[in-house]
Every structure is written in C-alpha cells, then in structure tokens.
Chains A and B, each alone.
Chain A
C-alpha cells in the first residue's frame, strides 16, 4: 500500500483513526489504572475536554496539511462509492455505540459510581468513532 494510491477520503479516515487512538488511549489507560486503584482519584472530566480540544486541533491541522497536498481532491465532494462506504461504516458504528451505551448503563448498576458511567459513556463514543473510521479504512482497502 503506497500513500499516493490512497484517496483523499481514505487518508482522512486514517488521520481520524490514528488521532483518536493517539489522544484517547493514554486517557483511558489512566482511567483503567484509577479504576484498579493503582492511581488515586477519578480522572477529571476537564482532562477529557482538554483532550477533546487536542484531538480537534490535531484533526484540523492534519486535514489542512492533507488538503494543501491535494487541493483538487479536497474540494471534490464524496462520490457515490465513498458515500456508500461512509454509510456502511456509520451503520456498524451505530450498533457499537448502542452496545456501548447499554454496557455503560449496566456498569452504573454494578458499580453505583457516576464516574464509571462518565468514563464508560465516553469510551463508547470513542470506540464507536474508531469502529467507524476503521470500517471505512477496511472498506476502502477491500475495493483497492
């Protein structure tokens, strides 16, 4: 797989996938350690919002670089195959999000801790996004 063989949308999906992974993996690893009692105190939600800002800045910066490298493709709207890929990926991610939301609700009943619900809810959203971009990448690769 050569970088120049990838379409703009596939590169964009890779950027989003890797950005989410890079930003949220350390956050949830710390949360996990706190849940196990290895670290004191709950992870502050302000940290999550801070990471969200870092994620947005990273996404915007990398997409600007990508758009500058291929301005024509960046201006072109998604074609029918790309729209279909996005729809299929969103369909899969939706079910992951629903399962994650139900798991978060179940965890609240088990642990009786609002912090766990916060973390599990955020984790469900992040995993659903990862699944969406991951599914897009898989579907793009399958057609290549």
Chain B
C-alpha cells in the first residue's frame, strides 16, 4: 500500500494570478521549494501546508489531497 499527496497549487496559483516567486515570498520559502511542492517532489510540513492554504483563502483539503494507492 503506497500513498501520495496530490495538490492543486499550480491551478490555484494561476486562478489567483500568482507566480511561484510571489507565492514563495508570501509563504516564506524559496521559489524552488514551491516548485518542488507543485511537482509532488517534496511534501510540506503541516504548518507550511496551512500557510499555503491561507494564501489562497481555502481549506487545507482544497489544496492538498491524500490518496492511498494499492501497489
């Protein structure tokens, strides 16, 4: 049983007309970290996940979804 955290950051970012750098500045991380999260290569801490959701003004599970997959 594997698991993956998917996110809608790119979609929400586009909707809010935010660049990766602008989101990074508001969350307090580097642009490269935002990129890594968007690509699913890095799973953020709960604190950062809440901060990202707060930037978009949506609940956490609107941004991040946990999926269990059978492998």
Contact A144 B29 (CB under 8 A): no
Q: Give the contact-size bracket for chain A.
A: 10 to 19
Contact A80 B48 (CB under 8 A): yes
Q: Is B30 an interface residue (CB 8 A)?
A: yes
Q: Is A46 an interface residue (CB 8 A)?
A: no
Closest Cβ–Cβ distance, residue A82 to chain B (whole Å)? 7
With a CB–CB cut-off of 8 A, which chain B residues contact A142? 41
**Given contacts A144-B35, A144-B36, A80 and B30 within 8 Å (CB-CB):** no
Contact A80 B45 (CB under 8 A): yes
Q: Find residues 18-71 in chain B having any chain A CB closer than 8 Å to their own CB.
A: 28-33, 35-36, 39, 41-42, 44-45, 48
Q: Is A76 an interface residue (CB 8 A)?
A: yes
**Given contacts A143-B36, A144-B35, A144-B36, A79 and B42 within 8 Å (CB-CB):** no
Chain B contact residues, CB within 8 Å of chain A: 28-33, 35-36, 39, 41-42, 44-45, 48
